[in-house]
Every structure is written in structure tokens, then in C-alpha cells.
Structure 1
């Protein structure tokens, strides 16, 4: 696999980790936020229109496990792609560097979303 394919795979893994990390927010942080803000009726309406949210909340260990696996794979891809050479062509090299920064930013956002979801799912209930 060449540098371009590896960079594409890294970016894809970062987007996948963002998607799975977002599911941790939907499963745990969004309901907690709505209840905290006194919008419990909105939460009931939301779960009646999207009943899959209840399944996500009931199986949060599975949701977080899948998200952690996606983050691990994206992290490995980021680590491996960090030292790959960019093309010699100046335009392609700028595109390569931009893609690396984008991928790193998406990965960092994924980790942050995962941490926020974990806080609401596992730490916040201990405070109450």
C-alpha cells in the first residue's frame, strides 16, 4: 500500500471513529443533557420517534466497546501514517499535508466525543 492509499485509509478510519464516537453521545450524553435541562418531555418525544435510542442506552457497553475499537484502529492508522512521505509535487504535497491535519483533527474530535460520552455514561451516574 502506497502513501496515498495509506493516507486515504487513515482519513477513512478517522471518520469511522468520529461516527462511532458520536453514537456514544447519542446513547448517553444527549439523554442526560435533556434531563438536566428539564427537557424530559423532549426526551420522551425523541425516544418515541427514534426507539433505537433506548436500545443504544441499554447496550452502552457494546456501543462504547465498538467506539473504543474504532478509535484504537484509527489511532494505529494515524501512528503508521505519521512518517509516510508526501509526494514531491508541491500541489500534491500541500494536499497531503492538509489531509493529514484534517485526519488528525477528526481523530482528536472523535477522542473528545468518546470522553464526553464516557463521562456521562459511566462517571456522572456515580455522582448522583
Structure 2
């Protein structure tokens, strides 16, 4: 694989992991607990909190969690945007792999964005309704 294809693949991988990490933290703090309570599984949430008491701290500091997550998602989005037309290798098999990796990376980013929006809904908008 050419050097530019290798750099693009690593950058896409890093941005996908970054965005997935950022959005999953918003799920842990807000969306999963709200979903459990709304489904009537308050006892399951209590069990979860007793096993992982850090969830309470994360929920208490949801504003900073969302700020950091938004910044990480922004960095991931910029990396995705910057590499959208990066050159792929000339070899047909490597080119196909490069384009497939780029497409999967974008899908992971969009999925992460949906997860973050879902977490934001349960953290900030749903309590107002």
C-alpha cells in the first residue's frame, strides 16, 4: 500500500474511534439511564449504578461530558471531511479496500453522531418536556 493510502486509512480509523468514543460517553451519562427509567426498569438502573457508581458522577457532570464529546466529534468530522478525497492506491484491490474503509469510517461517524444527538435529547431536551 502506498504511503498516502496508509496515512488515509489510519486517519479514518482514528477519526472513527474518536467519534465512537465521544458519542458512547453521552449514551452512558444520559440516554441509557433515561431509557431504562422510561421503560419502567428503574430497578435495573439501580443495579447498574450499584455496580458502576461512576455513572452518577458522569450524569452530574453531563455538560462537560457533552462539551468534550462535541469537540471530539468536531475533530472527527473535520478529519472525515479533510480525507474524503484523499488519494487511494492505484492497485485495484488496494483501491477497493481504501474506498470501502473510507465508506465504513463515514458510516461509523454518522452512527456516532446519531448516538450523540440521542444522548443530548435525553440529557437536555426531554427533561424540559
TM range (shorter): over 0.9
The Cα shift of 1:111 comes to 0.4
Q: What are the equivalent positions in structure 2 for 1:1-128 lying under 5 Å apart?
A: 2-127=4-129
TM-score scaled by length of structure 1: 0.94
Unaligned runs of 5+ in 1: none
The Cα shift of 1:96 comes to 0.2
RMSD: 1.2
TM-score scaled by length of structure 2: 0.94
Question: 4+ runs of 1 displaced by more than 6 Å?
Answer: none
Separation of aligned partners in 2, 1:74 and 1:3:
18
Separation of aligned partners in 2, 1:25 and 1:90:
39
Unaligned runs of 5+ in 2: none
Structure 1, residues 32-90: CA drift from partner, whole Å, max 9, x if none? 11111111111111101000100110010111111111110111101110111111000
How many residues are paired up?
Answer: 127
Separation of aligned partners in 2, 1:97 and 1:2:
13
CA contact (8 A) 1:7 1:81 kept: no
Q: Secondary structure at the residue paired with 1:2?
A: helix
